[in-house]
Amino acid sequence: MDAPSYTPEDAPVPEGEIVIERASTPLDIGPKFNRTVADVVKFLMENGEMVTATQSLSDDMIELFVAEIGAEVRLVDPGEEQELELLKKLDVPAEDEEVDETGWAHRPAVITVMGHVDHGKTKLLDQIRNANVIDGEAGGITQHIGAYQTERNGHVLTFLDTPGHEAFTAMRARGAEATDIVVLVVAADDGIMPQTIEALNHARAAEVPIVVAVNKIDRENADPQRVLAQLAERDLVPESWGGDTIVNEISALQNIGIDELLESLVLVAELEDLRASPEGRAQGTVLEAHLDIGRGPVATVLVQHGTLQVGDPMVAGPAWGRVRALINDKGEQVKEAGPSVPVQVLGLSDVANAGDSFVVAPDEKTARDVADTREHYTRVASLGRDASATAGGARLEDIFSQIQAGEAATLNLIVKADVNGSLEAVTESLKKLEREEVKLSFVHRGVGGITENDVQLAATSNATILGFNVRPDRKARELAETEHVEIRNYEIIYKLLEDIESAMLGMLAPEYEEVVTGDAEVREIFRVPKIGAIAGCYVLNGQITRGSKVRFLREGVIIWKGEINSLRRFKEDVREVAAGYECGIGLSDFQDLKSGDIIETFDEREIART
């Protein structure tokens, strides 16, 4: 008998939604559609995709095949199904499982402040925090760890410290439900604005009670009545108008009405009757995480159930470890943290993501296994998303020898750019360079800085990374070195095209290599009259030298280039500051600083290519 060949009407395709894991092979998916492996391979070949039976397929290929046979498919990340197994291993109750709530104790409400930009969210958070320090213990220095607690008439409230709905949404997108109450800040002189409405919609989608703070009532042109009318139009009818929305008129600047706002929040918290079990292994959400040079990965977590203790083995997303130390919002080391308490955790293996859930594992080995399995699946998933059939393709430096050898050469590229527009422009222009003997294969294209994942993918798919107005972060740089992945960065399109074209002709020109001499992280921003913004920085690597050339990075994207104008340590002008020290950096005519930004300094030198 002939091997069954591919024809759509051969066998009925199973009805209903079929779950397919990303990066599945023809061997995996064939049987799920009542097709043979050969059917899948043959179809893809006919459509120009040379694949083998055991090769991971890209999303596009799977979708192409599915469209052809008319099946209904849901692509899931590898690991999504396994994740349920992992949770079982960790002994975490499934979402729909009944939990015995007897013996649960009251817990503090967790509050997020949202609203339009400049309406005073940060000021309000600062005001509440400062009030706490003054009548709190002397000398307690509050730390910005991503959340803090405050007390009002014996009731504790937990405030998440990243205002705005971006963080809130990002967390929700990862399945985290950390917020109990939303404070919607509306400036009395400005009224309801686009982001006010967005914030409102997000809060409603999360089904979280909303308390409104009409801010800036100290302003001459403040018109709280107008704001109340606008709120009523959006179904937030104030109590004073007979509705049930609690509205407080405040001035975050002059500390007016803040007490009353806190009282309202205590009231809502009581109505919500928020409870959690303080007993047992802790569970909760990662609020923020970063790599600290001295301390390693640091994660701020919000405990939601149980009590987190020093020495506990825990898993947080893809990171795991034994809790080495816990630091509270006053910068003090603590032994444990119960429900609704935010703490910084030291001792994790890796930097987790905001919104990742964390849980204390039964033992260290389980913690490690779970984290490793997750990491494995994350990697496989990114391969599935990004990989095209790259077998046989080449890197930039090898392309010419392949052409000379008379082989049809394919140049594998990963392109990262600052925005979608430039990504499109770069890819479109690159495609025009394609010729009979050289094809281009875009293994992955994306917006944002060059990450470890990109490098990993480049290594496995034999690709060269082209960055346009973006930079690799340190981890990516290091991995690129060990994996011998070439990263080429450009800020001008024609330079990029010229290089690729030259490579195809075997004449890759000498490159002006930019040697990174140091990088510093912006931790605090000071506004100095007449001078402008000064970045309070911590030097992460190398050294920062006055006058050196600078790239200013936000999440790996170059947002400004220029020079270091002023460099100070403890009010002294200095020439140079080394890694591990703090300093103040002034940049010529650039003011848009944010904490977490990276200032990268570099030298240029010509390197000859071989």
Q: Tokens 């006919």 appear where?
A: 46
Q: Does 120 bind ligand GDP (CB under 6 A)?
A: yes
The nearest distance, CB 124 to ligand GDP, in angstroms, is 7
The nearest distance, CB 163 to ligand GDP, in angstroms, is 5
Binding piece for ligand GDP, criterion CB under 6 A, among 94-102, 110-118, 343-351, 352-360? 110-118
Q: Does 216 bind ligand GDP (CB under 6 A)?
A: yes
The nearest distance, CB 316 to ligand GDP, in angstroms, is 28
Q: Which of residues 386-405 bind ligand GDP (CB under 6 A)?
A: none
Q: Does 121 bind ligand GDP (CB under 6 A)?
A: yes
Q: Which of residues 140-179 bind ligand GDP (CB under 6 A)?
A: 163
Q: Does 118 bind ligand GDP (CB under 6 A)?
A: yes
Rounded CA gap, 348 and 299, in Å? 8
Q: Which is nearer to ligand GDP, 121 or 165 (CB)?
A: 121
Q: Does 122 bind ligand GDP (CB under 6 A)?
A: yes
Rounded CA gap, 287 and 162, in Å? 9
The nearest distance, CB 147 to ligand GDP, in angstroms, is 16
Q: Does 215 bind ligand GDP (CB under 6 A)?
A: yes
Helix 258-272 to helix 121-134 angle, to the nearest 10 degrees?
Answer: 90
| Residue number, nearest CB to ligand GDP | 120
What HEC string does 271-311 produce? HHCCEECCCCECEEEEEEEEEECCCEEEEEEEEEECEEECC
Kindly write down the DSSP assignment for every residue of 350-398, as one continuous string.
Answer: S---TT-EEEE-SSHHHHHHHHHHHHHHHHHHHHHHH----TT-B-HHH
Q: Which of residues 541-600 bind ligand GDP (CB under 6 A)?
A: none
Rounded CA gap, 113 and 179, in Å? 10
The nearest distance, CB 222 to ligand GDP, in angstroms, is 8
The nearest distance, CB 122 to ligand GDP, in angstroms, is 3
Burial of 88 (0-12, 13-18, 19+ CB in 10 A): exposed
Rounded CA gap, 382 and 385, in Å? 5
Q: Tokens 């816990």 appear where?
A: 326
Binding piece for ligand GDP, criterion CB under 6 A, among 30-38, 210-218, 224-232, 264-272? 210-218
Q: Does 62 bind ligand GDP (CB under 6 A)?
A: no
Binding test (CB under 6 A) with ligand GDP, winner from 22, 35, 119, 416: 119
Binding piece for ligand GDP, criterion CB under 6 A, among 214-222, 394-402, 507-515, 590-598? 214-222
Helix 452-461 to helix 364-386 angle, to the nearest 10 degrees?
Answer: 60
Binding test (CB under 6 A) with ligand GDP, winner from 22, 107, 123, 152: 123
Cα dihedral 344, 350, 351, 357 sign: negative
Q: Which of residues 223-282 bind ligand GDP (CB under 6 A)?
A: 251-253
What HEC string does 507-570 produce? CCCCEEEEEEEEEEEEEEEEEECCCEEEEEEEEEEEEEECCCEEEEEECCEEEEEEEEEEEEEC
Task: Tell me, by CB under 6 A, how many residues bind ligand GDP.
Answer: 16
The nearest distance, CB 119 to ligand GDP, in angstroms, is 5
Q: Which is nearer to ligand GDP, 588 or 595 (CB)?
A: 595
Which parts of this chain interact with ligand GDP (CB under 6 A)? 115, 117-123, 163, 215-216, 218-219, 251-253
